[in-house]
Amino acid sequence: MGMTGTTVADLVHAQWDDHRPGLRCEDRVLTHHQVAAGAAARAALLVDLLPPGAEPHVGVLLDNTPEYPLWLSAAALAGAAVAGINPTRRGAELARDILHTECRLLLTERTHLPLLDGLELPGVRILVTDSEEYEQLLAPYANAAPGDAALAPPDPSRRMLLYFTSGSTGAPKAAICSQGRLAAAGRSLVEHFGVGRDDVHYVCMPMFHGNAVIADWSPALAAGAAVALRRRFSASGFLDDVRAYGATYFTYVGRAVQYILATPERPDDRDNPLRLGFGTEAGAVDAARFAERFGVRLVEGYGSSEGGAAVQRTPDTPPGAIGRATPGDDLAVVDPATGEECPAACLDEAGRLLNGADAIGELVNRGRSPFEGYWRNPEADAARVRGGWYWTGDLFFRDPKGFLYFAGRSDDRLRVDSENLAAAMIENILARYEPAAAVAVYAVPDPVAGDQVMATLALGDAPFDPGDFGRFLAAQGDLGPKMLPRFVRPVRRMPVTATNKVHRVALRRAGFRCPDPVWWRPDTEVSYEPLTPAAESALLDRYREQGREELLGRL
């Protein structure tokens, strides 16, 4: 049974009289009451330290330590907003994120202090959470209670989060999430998944990212469930953590599930308390492997990071589909070039898409959107909301019954020989290649026009066998001839971002001129050979002849 508060502050207040364990991290355990008390102390400190007239924003540059959820709760009580700062950013980019969100206070820890060396951060006060000075600052507020100090009365429309969403180009945008939207998201997941007070939410994804806060921490708070933290995601430590904490629920993004599956199997893998994993981009093949190995159901969901559209899985959702639009949403799959709705997908008996060029389009919310905008970025707002519609930037197709299938990001569309292809569709096929722990498909420019398909395969310590891979491709009945990778880059481990998503920008930028050996098909046959220095030189000459060499290395 979840809480009924309309703001995150209401949910924090509700913890005050609860003396059950509420927050676990390594050897540290705090009760729900201690979490609420710690949040109240930090809220009072925040109110006193924030300069008059400053935006009520506090930057948090921390790993997943107890201080992170404590400051989220503190911001809610104070009527302030947390800007999650990504510790993988460096130099001027890191400074830009802090200054763009107008943070006058920055919470960090000693391990991250080197990141701040030499940065120009005028007007920003830095608090180091694992320092004696910090403890001394907090001490006078030890007896604070929720509601004792606030910059403004918390209400549903009050800013709560500023979380950066990355694109393929340009600086990350800081999406706004209000207290009301965050509390509503938590309550919705509680209802949808039956999360209860006895659940333990394992937060192993980084908390500067929306997934961990919106889909993991928020429903735990709404349900009165406990939270268990992992400082940084570890595939090898995943199962041990789950058992040690008694975790029943976790969220994931990107390739985290693949990394867990790549760990050595144990006879007792199914002996664990987990009942549910919720996230994105695991893929149907890996979800089935995870359920078979660990006895845990993975539910693939979709929610635009900015909150503009959501797809809800129902019991009758077919394999491979995400679900249907949530009640009240008017979602459509639209051709962005014409603004017209795409035709329904034609699927064969095996669920393979037969008319991808026509059926795949951008998912658009034509109804009322909960999108709350980006911080100080009207250009990005205008690009996201056009003609009164919210454009997600994500590719989907819809079957005749209205079920929606994710087909990649709009910037992951390839145009090969005048045919539009979705990288995610090709990835889903290549994911069947058993030696590959992970697959990424992306475009490299064609020497004459359009794109060519390049694939990176994460093979661990196994060597790439071009003959075996060619035979695999030839056996895939739904792999059209234009989908065949022209270039293949075998790697030991897939390069990923801080949120465990494939680092597509780096892959596209490197293309076939990368530090790893590359194999390619010089002609139309499904036969791969090494891209030797001589072959690469001749290929680059073709780009120069067509005046397209400058396109190589594009973002």
Section 512-516 average pLDDT: 94
In tens, the pLDDT along 405-440 reads: 887 777 677 878 756 677 888 998 999 999 999 999
Where exactly are the structural domains of the chain?
A: 8-179, 319-412, 417-551
Q: Which of 533, 441, 496 is nearest to 253 (CA)?
A: 496
**Distance from the Cα of residue 378 to its chain's centroid:** 23
The confidence score (pLDDT) of residue 312 equals 84
Section 123-137 average pLDDT: 98
Q: Does the structure show a pLDDT above 50 at 168? A: no
Q: Does the structure show a pLDDT above 80 at 358? A: yes
The confidence score (pLDDT) of residue 547 equals 67
Buried b (16+ CB within 10 A) or exposed e, 23-36: bbbeeeebbbebbb
Q: How far apart are CA 483 and CA 453, in angstroms?
A: 7
Give the range among 104-108, 168-172, 268-272 with minimum mean pLDDT.
168-172
In tens, the pLDDT along 211-250 reads: 999 999 999 999 999 999 999 999 999 999 999 999 999 9
Q: How far apart are CA 497 and CA 554, in angstroms?
A: 18
Q: Which of 155, 163, 121, 134 is nearest to 46 (CA)?
A: 134
Which residues 6+ apart lie within 8 Å of 203 measured at CB?
Answer: 64, 212, 216, 217, 227, 228, 229, 230, 250, 251
Q: Map residue 107 onto helix, strand or coil.
A: strand
Burial class (CB in 10 A: 0-12, 13-18, 19+), 273: middle
The confidence score (pLDDT) of residue 92 equals 86
SS3 letters across 351-416: CCECCHHHHCEEEEECCCCCCCCECCCHHHHHHHEECCEEEEEEEEEECCCCCEEEEEEHHHEEEE
pLDDT-based confidence at residue 285 (cuts at 50, 70, 90)? confident
Are β-strands 200-203 and 249-252 bridged in parallel, bridged antiparallel, or unpaired? parallel
H and E: helices and strands count for the chain: 18, 28
Determine phi and psi for 156, rounding to 5 degrees: -55, -30
Q: Which amino acid is at 528?
A: Y
Token readout for 402 is 């209205």
Q: Which of 229, 273, 235, 241 is nearest to 254 (CA)?
A: 235
In DSSP notation, 199-210 reads -EEEE-S-TTSH
Question: Which single residue is written with the structure tokens 């064969």?
Answer: 348
* Rg of the Cα atoms in the chain: 24
Q: Does the structure show a pLDDT above 90 at 546? A: no
Strand order in the sheet with 276-279: 28-31, 21-25, 226-229, 200-203, 249-252, 276-279, 297-300
Q: How far apart are CA 270 and CA 272, in angstroms?
A: 6
Which residues 6+ apart lie within 8 Å of 517 measured at CB?
Answer: 464, 489, 490, 530, 531
Q: Which of 313, 320, 316, 324 is nearest to 350 (CA)?
A: 320
Which residues 6+ apart lie within 8 Å of 168 measured at CB?
Answer: 409, 411, 504, 505, 508, 555
The confidence score (pLDDT) of residue 555 equals 40
In tens, the pLDDT along 246-260 reads: 999 999 986 788 889
What is the length of the chain?
555
In tens, the pLDDT along 469-479 reads: 999 999 987 78
Query: Which fold, 8-179?
Result: Rossmann fold (3.40.50)
**Distance from the Cα of residue 441 to its chain's centroid:** 18
The confidence score (pLDDT) of residue 554 equals 47
The confidence score (pLDDT) of residue 88 equals 80
Yes or no: say if 88 and 211 are a contact pair by the CB < 8 Å rule.
Answer: no
pTM above 0.85, yes or no: no
Yes or no: say if 87 and 109 are a contact pair by the CB < 8 Å rule.
Answer: no
Residues facing residue 163 across a β-bridge: 84, 175
- Helix 32-49 and helix 67-78, axial crossing angle in degrees, nearest 10: 60
Q: Does the structure show a pLDDT above 60 at 389? A: yes
Yes or no: say if 195 and 223 are a contact pair by the CB < 8 Å rule.
Answer: yes
When the pLDDT of each residue in the chain is averaged and rounded to a whole number, the result is 91
The confidence score (pLDDT) of residue 253 equals 84
Token readout for 346 is 């034609």
Yes or no: say if 206 and 163 are a contact pair by the CB < 8 Å rule.
Answer: no
Burial class (CB in 10 A: 0-12, 13-18, 19+), 379: exposed
The confidence score (pLDDT) of residue 3 equals 56
Triad 469, 543, 444: Cα angle to 5°: 40
The confidence score (pLDDT) of residue 468 equals 96
**CATH code for the structural domain at 319-412:** 2.30.38.10
Domain 417-551 CATH (choose: 1.10.10.10, 2.60.40.420, 3.30.300.30, 3.40.630.30) = 3.30.300.30
In tens, the pLDDT along 292-318 reads: 999 999 998 888 778 899 898 888 998
Q: How far apart are CA 259 and CA 409, in angstroms?
A: 22
Q: How far apart are CA 480 and CA 475, in angstroms?
A: 11
Q: Does the structure show a pLDDT above 60 at 2? A: no
